[in-house]
Structure 1
Amino acid sequence: MPSGPEMRASDGDRDKVASVLREHYAQGRLTTEEFDERLEQLYTSKTYGELATLTYDLPDVDMRSLPETPSRAPQRATGAAGASAADKGLRAAWAVWATASGVNWIIWLIVGVTSGLDFPYPWPLWVMGPWGVVLLVSTLASAAGQSKKP
């Protein structure tokens, strides 16, 4: 089957072009701005033709001399990449929850102290409670899903 410019490119193809761009950047053929711009375009490219436009003005690089890049396929097959991304997302969500809860409790404390130690109803519980329950259920569901994977 011929691989024309309209054929869809794979992640491996994009990784190879990224290696070529890094090599040209390291050799001084691309400025930092050009390199960043081309990398941005690279990861939105869908076809071989779009990939070819990123290196059309650069000399050919012997792909065999470049170091081998690790394939992303095994990670996707085992779900390792998705699991670590989910873990990072949950950690970030918990950090935001803790920060927002802390800010609310500080505001509650300031209001209580400035009103002559007549503390108001603990309204921060209504902010942190439901949100925390949703995060807890999400965390437990994520942990259960990861333990079932081989």
Structure 2
Amino acid sequence: MGREGMRAGDSDRQRVADQLKSALDEGRLDLNEYDERVQRAYSARTYADLDGLLDDLPGTVPVQHAQVEPVQVAHPAPDAARVRKDHSSRHTFRSALTAFLICTLIWAISSLSAGQAYYFWPAWVLIPVVITAVGALTDRNRRSR
């Protein structure tokens, strides 16, 4: 049995109805012809019934009859996505840690120049460092399970 004799599914009928709607919106079909074809699309039983509804419309050649091959989209390997996430997590942690160390250095210089230890305000900058470290460790533990 060829493709034309195979039974069409609901998604196939919906796809044809969507293409007919596009043709109506473009002015290629009048309302009566659109209505007639949509009724035939929803009552179609085989692919041949559906293909006949689009034959005279440009840009609606079924994929099986097209001379152009559909583009195959390459999906990145799951490991590559994990490596990017690991790198991003490490970069975020290092950035937060660097900011903390710079603030601590500023605090130390200002305390030494004043001759007394000021309130250790860089502790507030330590909060994002702890949060990113905990997040990175949690992700690592999840992946190891």
Fold shared by both chains (TM-score > 0.5): no
TM-score, length basis structure 2: 0.40
- The structure having more radius of gyration, on CA atoms, is 2
Compute the TM-score of the two structures, normalised by the length of structure 1.
0.39
